[in-house]
Structure 1
Amino acid sequence: MSEHYDVAIIGAGMSGLSAGIRAAHFGKKAIILEQHNAPGGLNSFYAKEGRKYDVGLHAMTNFVPAKERRAIFNKLLRQLRIDRSELDLIEQKSSRIAFPGANLRFGNDEALLESEVERVFPGQVDGFIRLSVAVRNYPDAAISQPYQSTRKWIKQFISDPLLEEMLFCPLMYYGSAVEDDMDVGQFVVMFRSIFHEGLARPAEGIRLLIRVVLDRYRKLGGIRKMKTGVKQLIAEGGKISRIVLENGSELTADVVLSCAGLPETYALVDKALVPDQSKLAGQLSFSETIAVYETLPETWGWGDDTIVFFNNAETFSYRNPADPIDLRSGVICLPNNFEYGDRPLGEGLVRVTCLANHDTWCGYSDEQYVAAKGDWFGRIQQSILPMMPVATRQYAEDLVATDMFTPRTVKKFTRRARGAIYGSPGKVKDGRTEWGNLFLCGTDQGYLGIVGSMLSGVVMANEHVLKG
């Protein structure tokens, strides 16, 4: 006998957990099915040699003061019935976009970036202000419209190619599944989230956020099955009639919400559907190195940089690289450089994220893979030296632990096609599929990042579970 639910949610990532909270709050019988033993999906954590490492989270976007009740983040927390104080959010100090010959700082006061543009690109500041106003006033309904190239749209405001690339760099690295471009709607969302609002992180990192969200879901009576992957979705009469689990059991649900991704979800119904061009996986995957030091970055003369989005080539290329890893651009994150006050982290952390080639990393033998990780870890560390204080180079002997993930790691633990963290370039903004009761939420629905994923879960649950 299979058990029946009002809603079955595939994946215990941030979108799935948020959708579950929203459904359970209104009395819906909800179950979350997760193939792994740890929740969080693309934003989780793991333990190694006594240390806990965040996966995915550099910072949460959309940080605003609690008094701004109309802000997306605060409205989201109200929808989830989560008290903001539970998250213990710590603001960034400030971040930087670093290109050859030009640096732009930005922080949680949007005036900082405007003043920086005026300092570095005085002839562009009027256009930048008009761009900022256009982003602020961009209709929310238009965000859900079909894809429109930001490369074309932005030229009515910005005429300097260098400034254009510098603005794109952080927004692409934090939320574009499209090579060398962005959908205007996604650009608007990311511009608001990062430049208008700001960055913060829970004091304990992603573990705290996951704990708070899970606790909320449990208290509402939601059911969560870990290490319970979905093997197949059986379609009959234009709907998903049964969910077959990898352990051989089955269940049924009025509504199925999938956080697995667009091609991944379609493959669960019928693998023959995946080659359709509109269902193709994204081409963009990443590697990340983690270096742990005995000493803190503030002792290196690092300053207030929390995150550095860098490009050290003549042009900025955001695309699947020919080499195993593209060393020309990336993201340097220093988790220590948030405003911890009198409770700093105990060790120094430096995380470096770069674009990586999925086919190369997944094509290595086990022996080749281990050797390549060792080689590229060192090359990545060398490549970021120009962005780091000179004193930092003297602290190599203080390195106490390292780790590195690659597209192969992403694919293994998330089953994302091609290890594409940001999923398919083509987003399904209304969440609808070819089956009347199967809907997407999360990355391939169109909202990216931690706050975006949580928002996606809430919006899709409101629209397809509660209204339905």
Structure 2
Amino acid sequence: MYDTIIIGAGMSGLAAGIRLAHFGQRVAILERHYTIGGLNSFYRLRGRNYDVGLHALTNITPKGTKRGPLARLLRQLRFSWDDFDISPQNGSQIAFPQARLSFSNDFELLRSEVARVFPAQADRFDKMVSQIVDYDDLTDEHQQLSARQVLSEYLTEPLLVEMLFCPLMFYGSAREHDMDWGQFCIMFRSIFLEGLGRPYAGVRLILKLLVKKYRALGGELKLRAGVKRIVTDATSDGTHHVVGVELEGGEVLETRRVLSSAGWCETMRLCDDGQPVVSRASGQLSFCEAIATLDVPPSHFDYHQTITFFNDSPQFHWKKPTEQMCDVRSGVICSPDNFDYDRPLADEGTMRVTVLADQDQWLPLGDEEYQVAKHRWWDRIMASAVRFVPDFRSRIIETDMFTPGTIVRYTGHDNGAVYGAPDKQLNGTTHLDNLFICGTDQGFVGIVGSIISGISMANMHCLRE
């Protein structure tokens, strides 16, 4: 009998497992895949290491900071700042044809850039920022507010609004066209007010630290252990209660509670109680990412930006690209080389370009069609990127690419939706009194957000009896 079974060995599941095992619970994390991390994982291909998912950690505050998500994460999981070996970004930019805004981990840079490019908006921008600083946390009320509507009360320059939305939506919006005001505030603080950083060894360092600590505390991690169903039993008052899970191989594990990071819709389909639950739409926003390994670091051709968020028109379009397999009008260009490391990363370089993709066109493809589509769209994605950064294509020595199919394979998310369903379950509860969710569909996104979600839901629902 387990105290808690956790579905999914992504960031939120691993963090929850550490938290519970630290307090002596018998915990098992079940992962249907052969590796950990979900979308935020890593692999090795033709002698080179690749990260999947991670561009940068958000919420990066200076060493010794006592407040904020990163400080909370380190404190709750008993890690030190030095364990993660984080280096801050060199500096990033939002690039539209009409204007560019630079930003770094010093918020004053973005503030001065807004005043320089949009002088008539400077005071309005400061008032908006004051409101965001005062914002406390996700609530149902904030979830129901439209960020576009709230911003219209502060900013009167449409281009500035679109430029602010571009990075925040790419890094954390499951909703088309708009964001919830609460999510906008979270992402604004995590990217602009706090900042971006990266462990020297990439995402593999974070995952290895999490797994090592979890196992040292006595937690069990079962790979290739997909959950077929969540087993329930009727109680005396006619309600249902989770009593265990059945694995795809037929084994049944008994437990007092289940914490699932599989996603809301995905978790509800596992329940065998037959009871009506709150239905909600699956997410529709998925990505393709084209990866290029270069024979030199980007600094060799005078490119020093850590991340470039680009868009090729005054209006930023954030919706599923049904007319094409990918939407190359906008995207994210990340160079893992361009962080302020205290030692050289490598003699080679990397450029990663991420764009929106239509999973309905990618997922049905057969193997041959899939490979042809990858080659064609890899070229188109890179051609789109070099409109906004120096043309690095002559320096490419190796390529790879992931698609919505890759995301489905590693995460199991419906539609390959990176940020899950648009409607979040902020308190993590379900129709069953001992089944809870954490991770993307609870309400926090990104690596730090996912880890905080696992910690918060473990504290709230699994450590209070």
Query: What TM-score results when the alignment is normalised by the length of structure 1?
Result: 0.95
User: 2:45 aligned with 1:48, yes or no?
Assistant: yes
Aligned residue runs from structure 1 range 301-450, under 5 A: 301-302=302-303, 304-322=304-322, 323-389=324-390, 392-393=391-392, 396=394, 398-450=395-447
1:245 match = 247
Pick from 241, 264, 267: which aligns with 1:265? 267
Where 1:251 maps in the other structure, the secondary structure is strand
Query: How far apart are 1:326 and its partner, in Å?
Result: 0.1
Q: Are the structure 2 counterparts of residues 125 and 271 from structure 1 closer, same or farther at C-alpha, using a change threshold of 3 Å?
A: farther
Is 1:68–2:75 an aligned residue pair?
Answer: no
3-state SS of the aligned residue for 1:291?
strand
* Residue deviations 1:13-51 (CA, integer Å, cap 9, x gap): 000000000001111111100111211112100111111
Aligned to 1:167: 164
Q: Which residue in 1 is equivalent to 2:96?
A: 99
Quick one: structure 1 residues 338 and 271, their matched pair in 2 at CA, closer, same or farther if it must change by over 3 Å?
farther
Q: Distance in 1 between matches of 2:8 and 2:301?
A: 41
Considering fraction of residues, name the structure with more helix: 1
Partner of 2:148: 151
SS in 2 for 1:204: coil
Partner of 1:214 in structure 2? 211
Q: Which amino acid aligns with 2:310?
A: F
CA drift of 1:144 comes to 7.0
Picking from 88, 103, 107, the partner of 1:110 is 107
Number of aligned positions between the proteins: 459
Deviations 1:326-375 (A, max 9, x none): 00001000111001233232311000000000000012222111111110
Structure 2: how far apart are the matches of 1:64 and 1:351? 25
Looking at structure 1, the residues matched to 273 and 440 of structure 2 have their Cα atoms a distance apart, in angstroms, of 20
Structure 2 CA distance, aligned partners of 1:223 and 1:144?
38
Cα drift, residue 313 of structure 1: 2.5
CA distance in structure 2 between the partners assigned to 1:186 and 1:377 by the alignment: 31
For residues 182 and 111 of structure 2, the distance between their equivalents in structure 1, rounded to whole angstroms, comes to 22
Matched, 1:10 2:7: yes
8 Å contact from structure 1 (residues 44, 55) kept in 2: yes
Deviations 1:122-144 (A, max 9, x none): 00011111111100101326477
Contact residue 330 and residue 353 of structure 1 kept, 8 A:
yes
Offset at 1:425?
Answer: 0.3
- Provide the C-alpha distance between the structure 2 equivalents of 1:270 and 1:327, rounded to a whole number of angstroms: 42
Name the CA distance, whole Å, in 1 between partners of 2:410 and 2:452.
23
Question: 1:266-289 CA distances to partner (integer Å, 9 max, x unpaired)?
Answer: 111159889x88332101000001
State how far apart, in whole Å, the 1-side matches of 2:245 and 2:56 are.
35
The residue matched to 2:64 in structure 1 has which SS? coil
Partner of 2:21: 24
123-132 vs 238-247, which moves further:
238-247
Does the aligned pair in 2 maintain the 1:278–1:426 contact within 8 Å?
A: no
> Which one-letter code corresponds to 1:444 in the other structure?
D
Deviation for aligned residue 1:415: 1.2
CA distance in 2, matches of 1:248, 1:288: 36
Percent identity over the alignment? 48
C-alpha displacement of 1:71: 2.2
Deviates most, 353-362 or 337-346: 337-346
Give yes or no for the alignment of 1:137 onto 2:134: yes
**SS of aligned partner of 2:333:** strand
Letter in 2 for 1:263: C
Q: 2:455 matched to which residue of 1?
A: 458
Name the CA distance, whole Å, in 1 between partners of 2:74 and 2:141: 22
Runs of 5+ in structure 1 lacking a partner? Answer: none
Question: Which amino acid in 1 is paired with 2:190?
Answer: S
Which structure 2 segments of 5+ residues have no match?
Answer: 235-239
Residue type of the alignment partner of 2:266:
E
Aligned Cα RMSD in Å?
1.6
The answer to whether the Cα contact below 8 Å between 2:232 and 2:244 also exists between their aligned partners in 1 is: yes
Give the 3 Å change call, closer, same or farther, for CA 313–261 of structure 1 in structure 2. Answer: same
Deviation at 1:145, TM superposition (A): 4.8
What's the secondary structure of 2:127's corresponding residue? helix
Matched, 1:255 2:262: no
- Alignment partners' CA distance in 2, 1:271 and 1:425: 25
Q: Secondary structure at the match of 1:321?
A: coil
* Contact 2:260–2:438 (CA under 8 A) maintained in structure 1: yes
* Equivalent residues of 1:17, 1:457 under 8 A apart: yes
Distance 1:259 1:453 in 2: 9
What TM-score does the superposition give when structure 2 sets the normalisation length?
0.96
Q: Tell me: CA distance 1:145–1:314, structure 2 relative to 1, closer, same or farther (3 Å).
A: closer
1:43 touches 1:56 (CA, 8 Å); kept in 2? yes
Q: Distance in 2 between matches of 1:326 and 1:277?
A: 32
2-side partners of 1:80 and 1:243: how far apart? 27
Give, in whole Å, the separation in 1 of the partners of 2:414 and 2:265: 7
Distance 1:223 1:54 in 2: 25
Q: Deviations over 1:95-119 (max 9, x none)?
A: 0000112000011001000000000
Q: 1:175: how far off?
A: 0.3
Would the aligned equivalents of 2:263 and 2:420 in 1 still touch at CA under 8 Å?
yes
Task: Tell me the SS of whatever aligns to 1:98.
Answer: strand
Report the CA distance between 1:234 and its aligned residue.
1.8
SS of the aligned residue for 2:113 comes to helix
